[in-house]
Amino acid sequence: MAFEADRDGRDGEAMHLVAVAGERVIGTCRLLPAGAEVRLGRMVVKAALRGGGVGTRLLEAADRACVELGHDLVVLHAQVAARAVYDRAGYVQRGAPFVEQGIEHVTMEKALA
């Protein structure tokens, strides 16, 4: 992804979740409220640790944070290659695949109520 594409000026409105191991950041995601729903984005786990449950724990923490903030729907754009992580976490695909920043994605959502 291009560096500029990751800059939308909305970080101050968002809640940032960070996974750490010791003093190292190993994963992160951003929750951006939009009315009754929350847009989950900027999800990343250190490449060497993928498949070890870090992403799952980040998604669980995101669910709890959204509920605590009074939101009942989480929406995200999942890279098709990483879709299984979101499937396992209870997200469902909405709509057809699309290309974003040269990478195939799908919109997925999860009701928290």
Tens of pLDDT along the chain (113 residues) come to 455 555 667 777 889 999 999 999 999 999 999 888 999 999 999 999 999 999 999 999 999 999 998 999 999 999 999 999 999 999 999 999 999 989 999 999 999 97
- H-helix or E-strand spanning residue 27: strand 24-34
Third-level CATH fold of 3-111: Aminopeptidase (3.40.630)
Give residue limits of the domains in the chain. 3-111
Which residues are CB-contacts of 33 (< 8 A; sequence separation ≥ 6)? 13, 14, 39, 69, 71
Per-residue pLDDT, 112: 93
Q: Are strands 37-45 and 92-100 parallel, antiparallel or unpaired?
A: unpaired
